[in-house]
């Protein structure tokens, strides 16, 4: 959803629902989001900002077979959110052993060069961020290199929500995955490591199977959270292109930020890169190219 991609600095974001077949509320909320953006483009400033500055992919159901069977797993009864290769269990990296839905998502992530993502779940009310597991498998806070940026994203969602930030179980309505309950083989961590995609896992309803009459209420409770999350990624961070001055063709390269042990690669199509930075941070970054050009150093303070 959005205007056709162009060499302009277009962020590519995604929402994924119904990862677990018995958590269908996300698929309904995402269809409402798509309808709202289409109906309000050029009418509502927020809808217009999102459509004109992002390329938003919406996948209402990652697990249609599980939904039809009213169970967590897919047609093979495999939990798709435990099926991705995991950084702490490298012996589980064989792509051929993955489920069809998992392989499709992995190929999609690598193809589209997503900036950010969120998967919608049910059964709790909290915004969850990486890492989802720890090296020693203990339940503990285990932050990823971009912990500040992820906490900013999670807080943006929680604070824009009807009551998520008021949670008595989770301070501010957000949680580190490994501190809540460690999982391995999750989509969230894989997307960040292998796709450079900053993904949240959003638990948007305490009730997994709400009544049909309650779906519109849940949509309204999450509407501004979803819109503000996407809009915030337009207004913050580092965005640019790496290209040859003489031909305008993209040059393979990446962006590194001092003090953060992760990199964001530029897309192969337009050479654009998008790095999420939490507001209020001062940072120093370096553009690295994979050819003979030297690297470029820059400094900037992200406004709060």
- Residue ranges covered by each domain of the chain: 11-235, 238-301
Give the tens place of pLDDT for each residue, 43-60.
Answer: 999 999 999 989 999 999
For 13-27, 120-134, 259-273, which range has the lowest pLDDT when averaged over its residues? 259-273
Cα-trace Rg, the chain: 19
- pLDDT band at residue 75 using 50, 70 and 90 as cut-offs: very high
Q: 288 pLDDT exceeds 50?
A: yes
pLDDT reading at 178 higher than 90: yes
Q: Quick one: pLDDT at residue 294?
A: 46
For the stretch 193-212, pLDDT in tens is: 999 999 999 999 999 999 99
CATH code for the domain defined by 11-235: 3.40.630.10
What are the CA-CA distances from residue 180 to residues 129, 140, 162 (Å)? 10, 8, 22
Tell me the mean pLDDT in the region 125-143.
97
* Amino acid 11: pLDDT: 80
Give the list of residues 6+ apart from residue 53 with CB closer than 8 angstroms, or none.
10, 11, 234
**Which among 62, 75, 58, 60 is positioned nearest to 19, based on CA atoms?**
62
Mean pLDDT of the 146-161 span:
98
Q: Alpha-carbon distance 273 to 268, whole Å?
A: 10
- Report pTM: 0.91
With respect to CATH, is domain 238-301 assigned 2.60.40.1120? yes
pLDDT at 91: 67
User: Longest C-alpha distance within the chain, in Å?
Assistant: 61
- Give the model's pLDDT for residue 292: 42
Average pLDDT for 242-261: 84
On the question of a common fold for 11-235 and 238-301, the answer reads: no
- The catalytic position among 28, 101, 203, 302 is 203
Structure tokens at 85: 């290769």
Dihedral angle sign, alpha carbons of residues 92, 95, 96, 100: positive
Angle at 14 between CA 9 and CA 17, to 5 degrees: 170
Name which residue leads in pLDDT, 70 or 300: 70
| 203 has catalytic annotation | yes
């Amino acid at each position: 959803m959005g205007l056709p991609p162009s060499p302009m600095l277009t962020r590519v974001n995604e929402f994924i629902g119904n990862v677990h077949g018995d958590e269908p509320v996300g698929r309904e909320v995402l269809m409402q989001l798509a309808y709202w953006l289409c109906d309000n483009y050029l009418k509502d400033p927020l809808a217009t900002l999102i459509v004109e500055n992002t390329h938003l992919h919406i996948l209402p159901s990652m697990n249609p077979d599980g939904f039809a069977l009213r169970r967590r797993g897919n047609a093979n009864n495999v939990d798709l959110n435990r099926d991705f290769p995991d950084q702490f269990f490298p012996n589980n990296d064989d792509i051929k052993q993955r489920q069809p839905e998992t392989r499709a998502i992995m190929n999609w992530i690598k193809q589209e060069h997503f900036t950010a993502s969120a998967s919608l779940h049910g059964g709790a009310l909290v915004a969850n961020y990486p890492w989802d597991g720890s090296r020693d498998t203990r339940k503990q806070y285990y932050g990823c290199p971009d912990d500040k940026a992820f906490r900013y994203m999670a807080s943006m969602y929680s604070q824009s929500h009807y009551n998520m930030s008021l949670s008595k179980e989770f301070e501010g309505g957000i949680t580190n995955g490994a501190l809540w309950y460690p999982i391995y083989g999750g989509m969230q961590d894989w997307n960040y490591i292998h796709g450079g995609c900053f993904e949240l896992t959003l638990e948007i309803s305490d009730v997994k199977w709400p009544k049909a009459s309650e779906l519109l209420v849940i949509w309204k409770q999450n509407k501004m959270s979803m819109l503000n999350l996407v809009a915030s990624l337009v207004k913050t961070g580092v965005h640019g292109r790496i290209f040859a001055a003489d031909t305008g063709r993209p040059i393979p390269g990446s962006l590194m930020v001092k003090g953060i042990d992760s990199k964001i690669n530029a897309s192969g199509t337009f050479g654009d890169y998008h790095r999420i930075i939490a507001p209020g941070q001062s940072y120093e970054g370096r553009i690295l190219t994979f050819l003979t050009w030297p690297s470029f150093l820059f400094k900037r303070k992200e406004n709060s």
